[in-house]
Structure 1
Amino acid sequence: MKQNVRPLIGIMTATKSDGTIAGNASLFKRLQKKLISQNGISFIFTLEGVGEDQITGYQFDPKDGLWKKEIFPFPDLVYNRIPLRKVEQTKAFHRFIETLIERKIPFFNPSFIDKYQLYILFKDHPFLKQYLPQTILVQQEHALFLFLQKHKSIYLKPASASKGKGIYRIKLLQDQIHVEGTKNLLTHFPSFQLFWQEWQEHLLNNPYLAQEDIHSAEYEGNRYDFRILVHVKNGVYSLTGIGIRQSQDQGITTHIPAGGKLLPYHLIRSSFHEEFIERIIEPIGEALTEKIGYFGEFSIDAGISKNGKYYIYEVNSKPMSFDEPEIEEVKIERLCQLFQELTKFRPNQKNTI
């Protein structure tokens, strides 16, 4: 490893069951290239590689396009990109975070964000609560039935899933229950009791939220919502980019992995959308940091109803890659700026390890 480059950024990821390294390799490579241009360097590592005073990790070499295993000192900053929720629940993860705190090493993105935890956090927030769809935790048959009776159409969402996985829409039509999934699964039950008998084990063993179905605004006949990317810049949460996702064959979700479509932002752009987005960014970042820990980045899933009311659906730590190249380019710039800001190393500043 070169010994004359700072900052040294450690990107924390995880090992998959087959022993290979998980994570967004494309992101890691692009960060390494950008850091090198600023006289910095990065390496990826897993908890298994953490020792008492050094870390065994992998450094990407852009010259030959290869990952090289090396031993590194503890980094100047740790960027948490662990893609597996279960890893963040281990004793090894919590011990490592304690070590970073003891060594005064900054880190950001402390954990995944549980959907119900987020709802509880925001529903008591004096400003953000106005943008929340009505939501309950699925725990009892009667409470879920009353919630469905009230709204007639609701979503069932796993509290700890992402990318639109495991989402269903339940409708009460007369006395029948209609269940629709992202793969156009459509099941009918003649009564709520029969629905509950078949679904209760799944809904209670995998914590689920029930959320009112918002009748979203549409563009050319299909609903759309916002994907908003945020990073800290000069100590303030600020907008990195806005993407639009539109439902297609199924109307359950707009997530692209579940069949959604990218829609150019300029097609629905308005000053009202931008005012809403700018107003929610800082309060969300401050609330997350106060209650959970320091998030240097996050993405927001938000939307607008047909009658013009805005909603916050989800906030995601460790955002997925955006399909818009221009947003991805700004993201790399913002992350490297944040690395420099938190480590107090200026770009191209010569320092030695």
Structure 2
Amino acid sequence: MIVYYDARTESWFHTFQHQKFTLGVEEIPLLFRPTPSPSSIPFSVQTHQLNLGPLVGILAGRKGKESVVGNGSLFKKLQKSIEEHSGIALIFTLEDIKKNGIRGHIYIPEKEGWLKIYSPFPHIVYNRLPFRALEQSDQYQSAIRLFQEKKVCFFNPSFIDKYQLYTILKREPLLTSFLPETILIDEKSQLMDFLKKHTQIYVKPANSAKGKGIFKLGKDNEDSITVTGYSHQQTYPHYDTFWSKYKEIFFSQPHIAQAEVTPLLYKGNRFDFRILAHFNGQSYQVTGVGVRQSGQQNLTTHVLNGGKIIEFDEVKRAEDEFFIEEIVNRCGQILSDELGFFGEFSIDVGLTEKGEYVIYEVNSKPMSFDEEHIEKNRIDSLIVLFQQFFKKQLFTL
């Protein structure tokens, strides 16, 4: 059916006489008008027990007073697809949350522009905040409490700290053998002992993404320490000299150290599987698998750092798909049990030179995939999930 938004009066209404429709998770009664006004904008929606929707909120960030920041390409694709499947999607920020609703933005393709609207609380909020600092703010915590009070489905509660992820997955018997030994760097001697034990380790900020801030640390036969970054290499005569240089970095934000894994090579370079996953109403399923291969440097396979895209079929082995399906479902269950509901995530998995699997990373807010078929599957999976939440067709995990 069609529901209307009157931009002049900031009100929602329908045109079906003798019907009592509601909108949003709180089932706010809609006004009735016999005919739309010139300032009214129509939206095609579904009905569930006279409640209209799905009404989906996409939580983005804000830069300055006006600019909304986030994955704009994903937002537009998602809004378009939600509308094509008879739903409403609005982009909003923490500042847009009001006492009785949300003042957000809807993209109007016909006008190639954004319309500011006032909406009841949505059925689902898809968390796409781009900055970890925003999730640590009092404003965000207040929003979480408000959504819980309103019984809004909050979708993907937070970024995942790398060390927290390690400690959570390490407790799972199915996954523990796939995790490189990892420590949280908190003192000089602890890191030195870890380096002595493994001789080659990776150091990463615990709260970074896209390979930012990663470097390799190596202990030579003598006392010297070699630091290898994306575009530089520096050797220090002994550990104390290295520590004096880096201690401020380690204590300015949490860092982890991870034992080096000697990777399996394909045509001379390492490669990783980038696995996208979604909840399907009963369990977690694989949405798509991309492969990223390192370029001139072997620190990371991220395309932004010189990596490249190769086809999954080029490197796929007979056992890979079964393994991927198994870990996807278990990782999804664990994350939701420990941190709150995750409807979407991605996993970075590598192979050792012996062909054994290694779980490097789990990302709660996957970037857009360059592979068009994976990105299409992603949008389709999200649409199905939003509709299931709206119609309350989900099974308990």
TM-score by length of 1: 0.95
8 A Cα contact 1:153 1:213, kept in partner: yes
- CA drift of 1:327 comes to 0.3
After superposing the two structures, state which structure 1 stretch, 86-95 or 162-171, moved more.
86-95
Alignment partners' CA distance in 1, 2:383 and 2:188 = 49
Residues 332-352 of structure 1 deviation map (CA, whole Å, 9 limit, x = unaligned):
000000100111179xxxxxx
- Matches of 1:295 and 1:12 in 2, distance apart? 15
How many Å apart are 1:272 and its aligned residue?
A: 1.7
Aligned to 2:229: 181
- Distance between the aligned counterparts of 2:192 and 2:211, measured in 1? 23
CA contact (8 A) 1:7 1:345 kept: no
2:180 matches 1:133: yes
Aligned to 1:81: 128
Alignment of 1:54-73 (within 5 A): 54-73=101-120
Counterpart-to-counterpart distance in 2, 1:146 and 1:17: 45
- Residue by residue over 1:216-275, the C-alpha shift from the partner in whole angstroms, topping out at 9 and shown as x without a partner, is 111100000110000011321000000111110111100111221111111001122212
Percent identity (aligned): 44
Partner of 2:294: 247
Secondary structure of 2:69's counterpart equals coil
What does residue 193 of structure 1 align with?
A: 240
| SS of match in other structure, 1:235 | coil
Q: Letter of the 1:180 partner, please give it.
A: T
Which SS does the other structure have where 1:111 is aligned?
coil
Matches within 5 A, 1:1-353: 1=5, 2=42, 5=45, 6-17=53-64, 19-174=66-221, 175-182=223-230, 184-344=231-391
Q: Name the aligned partner's letter for residue 232 of structure 1.
A: F
Q: How many residues align?
A: 345
Q: How many Å apart are 1:290 and its aligned residue?
A: 0.7
Partner of 1:350: none
2-side partners of 1:132 and 1:291: how far apart?
18
CA distance in 1, matches of 2:303, 2:238: 33
Work out whether residues 43 and 83 of structure 2, in 8 Å CA contact, stay in contact via their aligned partners in 1: no
Structure 1 SS opposite 2:106: strand
The secondary structure found in structure 2 opposite 1:98 is helix
Q: Deviations over 1:126-167 (max 9, x none)?
A: 211111001001111111111111111100010000000000
138-147 vs 112-121, which deviates more? 138-147
How far 1:19 sits from its partner (Å)?
Answer: 3.8
- Contact 1:299/1:316 (CA < 8 Å) preserved in 2? yes
Quote the Cα distance in structure 2 between the aligned partners of 1:95 and 1:202.
31
Higher relative contact order (CA closer than 8 Å, sequence separation 6+) = 1
Between structure 1 and structure 2, the one with the greater Rg is 2
SS in 1 for 2:319: helix
Aligned counterparts of 1:253 and 1:211: Cα–Cα separation in 2: 14
**Alpha-carbon contact 2:43-2:86 (below 8 Å) kept:** no
Q: Give yes or no for contact 1:158–1:167 (8 Å, CA) kept in 2.
A: yes
Post-superposition CA distance 1:84-127 (Å, at most 9, x none): 11111111111111111111111210000000100110111121
